[in-house]
Amino acid sequence: GAGVSQSPSNKVTEKGKDVELRCDPISGHTALYWYRQSLGQGLEFLIYFQGNSAPDKSGLPSDRFSAERTGGSVSTLTIQRTQQEDSAVYLCASSPGGRADNYNEQFFGPGTRLTVL
């Protein structure tokens, strides 16, 4: 079946502009995660959505970052007034949730490479 998809695959923007990154999780997956991977760094947790529960936003680095998940499916990560230090690969993952044996197994999308000039 279809995996996690993300768009755009690459985004180049100017400092100070706003950007929106999109994630389409695997159909039926209830959990969705956003991570950031900076060059040579490990994965940094940003935000977690589970069903209709309030999201865990504890990893968002500043109030310029926000995310929403509409209808329990597609998610959008928005970065306002982008800064050069926001340049990174933004990865989205989803998990089945529920009673599946692999309820907490993460499946990743290909990522969006963001470059802020």
Reference 115, options 93, 82, 91; nearest CA is: 82
Name the segment binding another protein (CB under 8 A); options: 21-29, 65-73, 74-82, 105-113.
105-113
Give the length of the chain.
117
Residue 87 touching another protein (CB under 8 A)? no
List the structure tokens of 27: 């159909």
Cβ proximity to another protein, 62 vs 104, nearer residue: 104
* 95 three-class SS: strand
Pick from 86, 85, 46: nearest CA to 66: 46
Task: State the DSSP string of 40-94.
Answer: T--EEEEEEEETTSPPB-TT--STTEEEEEGGGS-EEEEE-S--GGG-EEEEEEE
With CB under 8 A as the contact rule, the residue among 25, 26, 30, 33 that binds another protein is 33
Residue 6 or 75: the one with the smaller Cβ distance to another protein is 6
Of the candidate spans 16-24, 40-48, 61-69, 75-83, the one that interacts with another protein by CB under 8 A turns out to be 40-48
Q: State which of residues 17, 18, 57, 105 lies at the interface with another protein (CB under 8 A).
A: 105
Residue among 22, 56, 64, 66 that touches another protein (CB under 8 A): 56
Contacts to another protein by CB under 8 A? 4, 6, 31, 33, 41-43, 45, 48, 50, 56, 91, 93, 102, 104-111, 113
